[in-house]
Amino acid sequence: MPVAPFRSRWLGKFGLPESRWEKDLDGQLADRPFCDSEEVKPLLLYLFNDLPGVLENDPSADTHLLAEAFAWACFAFWQCGSAFPSFPENYAASLLKTLRQPAKKRSPAAIVLARLLVPANGAADGRCGFNQLTLSKPEVIRESEHLIHAGRYEDYLKAKVKYEEYENYLSRSAEFQADWQQIKDNFPAQVRDKETIHRTLILERNWERGQGAQFDDPSHTFQAVFDLFCWKYYLWAMKRDQPQLLKASVVFTPLGTQIFIPGYLSFDPKRDLDFGKVAKLHRARGVTRQGPGFSVGRKVTAKMKVLAKKADQEARGMGLKSDKRYAFICQQLKLLDHGDYRQVKRLLE
Residue 139 lies in a domain: no
pLDDT value of residue 294: 43
What band does 56 get if pLDDT is binned at 50, 70 and 90? very high
Mean pLDDT taken over the chain: 86
pLDDT at 68 over 60: yes
Write phi, then psi, for 165 (nearest 5 degrees). Answer: -65, -45
231 and 327 in a single domain? The answer is no
Point out the domain boundary residue: 114, 134, 154: 134
pLDDT at 99 over 90: yes
Helix-strand-coil split of the chain, %, nearest 5? 60, 10, 30
11 and 113 in a single domain? The answer is yes
Write phi, then psi, for 253 (nearest 5 degrees). Answer: -125, 170
Where in the sequence is the domain holding 304, given as residue range(s)? 292-348
Do residues 218 and 191 make contact, with C-beta atoms less than 8 angstroms apart? Answer: no
In what helix (H) or strand (E) does residue 249 lie, and over which residues does it extend? strand 249-253
318 and 264 in a single domain? The answer is no
What band does 293 get if pLDDT is binned at 50, 70 and 90? very low
pLDDT tens, residue by residue, 12-23: 999 999 888 988
Point out the domain boundary residue: 103, 134, 165: 134
Count the domains in the chain. Answer: 3
Local structure of residue 341 (DSSP, 8 states): -
Residue 140 lies in a domain: no
Specify burial of residue 270 (Cβ count, 10 A radius: 0-12, 13-18, 19+).
exposed
Point out the domain boundary residue: 258, 283, 308: 283
Find which of 196-205, 274-283, 333-342 is predicted with most confidence, using mean pLDDT.
274-283
pLDDT at 289 over 60: no
122 and 149 in a single domain? The answer is no
In what helix (H) or strand (E) does residue 237 lie, and over which residues does it extend? strand 235-239
Local structure of residue 173 (DSSP, 8 states): -
Residue 257 lies in a domain: yes
Residue 229 lies in a domain: yes
pLDDT at 37 over 60: yes
Above pLDDT 70, what percent of the chain?
92
pLDDT tens, residue by residue, 187-240: 999 999 899 999 988 876 666 667 788 899 999 999 999 999 999 999 999 999
In what helix (H) or strand (E) does residue 196 lie, and over which residues does it extend? strand 196-198
Q: What is the mean pLDDT of residues 255-261?
A: 87
116 and 171 in a single domain? The answer is no
Residue 64 lies in a domain: yes
CA distance 148 to 138: 15
pLDDT tens, residue by residue, 117-134: 998 766 667 888 888 899
